[in-house]
Amino acid sequence: MDPHQPSSRSRVRRPLVKLASTSVNLIHRRNPWVMAWWSTAFPGFGQLILGQHVKGFVLIFWEIAVNVGSQLNVAIMYSLQGQFERAKLVLDHRWFFLYTPVFIYGIWDSYRTTVSLNNSYGMAVFENARINSFHMDSISVNFLDRRIPWVGMIYSLLMPGLGQLYVHRLVTGFFILIWWIVIAYFSHVTEAVYFTCIGDFVRAKAVVDMEWLLFLPSIYGFACYEAYITIVELNNLFRREQTQYLIEHYQSSSFPLPEPNQ
């Protein structure tokens, strides 16, 4: 058998990418510690990056609900200001001790899943898994194409979620977009930006709700990182699919290929 020709088994065993009408999901090599860090920054983010959307969405709902219930962000704010006694008083321990076990699980699950998916990715590459580059149905058209990573990051900076929409990750994009709107509303960040623009810094500081505002840096950072990395890896898959097609249809099996490092 020609080693460049994918076997029928490798085509279905470990796919590198799955295109659907509302999303695109893919596996590629990732750093387990980076995924664990994203779960530390915000439980559920590591799972979203890995393509485990249902688990990620549930953990994000849980993080926001329990964080607000325990007033953890308020306690963090007072701790950063050196007001440790006030931080201890404001923390609701009934909610906080529910927070800790799931927080630890999210970190461990991200790390473990990344290691397993890295192994699956290595086997998929070894088996030369066939890449399906086009999906069309009555709802939408989705396809692999070259996109610009910095454009996705800029969209995410304008408003989290838009970078994901740029790469047709519609479910993740709208989820992030909706949560950004909710958090921006309760934190009054748009009002603070307005007062800052007109030079009323005292009023800008007074109007902000820090309990909700502290969610925004993680969401912004995640949206930019996830959009950029996803575009880079989808571009790599696009090139890999083009290579597979050209080898299968145009390159003679008897063509002498040069040895690596020569």
For the four alpha carbons of 64, 173, 120 and 11, in that order, the dihedral sign comes to positive
Q: What's the mean pLDDT in 54-70? A: 93
Beta-carbon-side half-sphere exposure of residue 208 (alpha carbons within 13 Å): 21
pLDDT at 249: 80
pLDDT at 5 over 70: no
Q: Could you tell me what percentage of the chain is helix, strand and coil, using 3-state DSSP and rounding each to the nearest 5?
A: 70, 5, 30
pLDDT in tens, 167-194: 999 999 999 999 999 999 999 999 999 9
Number of domains in the chain: 1
**pLDDT, tens only, 199-213:** 999 999 899 998 899
Q: Is residue 255 part of a domain?
A: no
Phi, psi of 18 (to 5 degrees): -130, 115
Answer yes or no: is pLDDT of 10 > 50.
no
**Is 75 within a domain?**
yes
Position with higher pLDDT, 183 vs 94: 183
Residue 185: C-alpha distances to residues 173, 188, 208, 223, 244 (Å): 18, 5, 10, 18, 48
* Residue type (1 letter), 235: N
Confidence at residue 262, expressed as pLDDT on a 0 to 100 scale: 46
pLDDT of 46 strictly over 80: yes
Query: How far is the C-alpha of 49 from the C-alpha of 53, rounded, in Å?
Result: 8
CB atoms < 10 A from the CB of 70, how many?
21
List of E strands, 115-219? 134-136, 141-143
Count of Cβ atoms closer than 10 Å to residue 90 Cβ: 16
Task: Share the mean pLDDT of the chain.
Answer: 89
- Dihedral sign, CA of 34, 39, 44, 47? positive
Domain that holds residue 50: 8-133+141-249
CB 142 within 8 A of CB 20: yes
Q: For residue 7, what are the contacts with CB-CB under 8 A and spacing of at least 6?
A: 1, 127
Residue 256 lies in a domain: no
* Residue 260 within a domain: no
Asked if residue 258 is part of any domain, the answer here is no
> Residue holding tokens 């090599």?
29
The answer for residues whose C-beta is within 8 angstroms of residue 102's C-beta and 6 or more apart is 43, 59, 62, 66
Poorest-pLDDT segment among 24-33, 85-94, 157-166: 85-94
Q: How far apart are CA 235 and CA 241, in angstroms?
A: 10
94 pLDDT band, cuts 50/70/90, is confident
Percent of the chain with pLDDT strictly greater than 70? 92
Say yes or no to pLDDT of 8 above 60: no
* pLDDT confidence of residue 260: 59
Question: Does residue 229 register a pLDDT over 80?
Answer: yes
Of 115, 233, 110, give the one whose Cα is nearest residue 169.
233
Give the least confident one: 125-134, 143-152, 165-174: 125-134
Residue 60 has pLDDT above 90, yes or no: yes
User: Which residue in 79, 73, 126, 120 sits closest to 96, CA to CA?
Assistant: 73
Q: What is the pLDDT of residue 1?
A: 44
Residue 58 φ/ψ, nearest 5 degrees: -65, -45
Q: How far is CA 193 from the centre of its chain?
A: 27
Quick one: pLDDT at residue 102?
Answer: 92
Average pLDDT over residues 214-225: 93
Q: How confident is the model at residue 6 (pLDDT cuts 50, 70, 90)?
A: very low
35 located within any domain: yes
Structural domain contains residue 197: yes
d(CA 225, CA 11): 30
Q: Of 141 and 13, which is predicted with more confidence?
A: 141
What band does 159 get if pLDDT is binned at 50, 70 and 90? very high
Work out the average pLDDT over 81-106: 89
